[in-house]
Every structure is written in C-alpha cells, then in structure tokens.
Amino acid sequence: MVVAGMSAAEMALKLHISATTVKTHLRFLYASLGASGRASAVLAACELGLMGQTRLGRIRMILDELAGVRDEAPNRSRYAELYDRVEMILNEVPRT
C-alpha cells in the first residue's frame, strides 16, 4: 500500500482500522527499514530484495534526479513528473 502511494486514511479504510493505527505501523515500518519516509522505505525494500532488481535500478535513477531537482530552485512540475515516473514503475505488474 505504501508502494502504491495510498494515504494513511485510504489504508485505514481498506484494512478496517483507524488512520492513527496505520500511522503507528508506518512509523515502526520506517524504523525497521531505517527509512525516514515513504521514498526511502521503498528504496530500502528494493535493496532488501522485496522488489525486483530491475525496478530498483530504475527507481534509483529517478531518485537521483529528484535529489537534483530538490537542490535547484523550486520546480514543482519536474518533481511531480519524476514522482509520477516512480509511481508508474511501482505499479507495474511484476514479471515472472
């Protein structure tokens, strides 16, 4: 659900629990992965082999671009474009 970009409220509805409970579990998940947020949690999951290696390489390239955009003057449209690319990769059907 994190990979799919669902909000805490969306996850709560799907799991039939409160959004506060979801947020608590997310904090523990991030701590377990050594992640500071969603993007770093996804990257950590990739590095641990929880996602395909092809995806990992593609996501790393985009995260590198995101870091560059973040350091430049505010450029929300470029950031949104890169975020959408990551989301598309994460939503791909895994190949067997």
Q: Model-level pTM?
A: 0.53
Q: Cβ neighbours of residue 82 under 8 Å, at least 6 residues apart?
A: 62, 65, 66, 69
- Provide the CA 88 distance to its chain's centre, in angstroms: 11
What pLDDT, in 10s, does the model give residues 15-57? 999 999 999 999 998 898 888 888 888 878 777 777 665 666 7
- CA dist., res. 16 & res. 63, Å (int): 32
The single residue listed with the structure tokens 């659900």 is 1
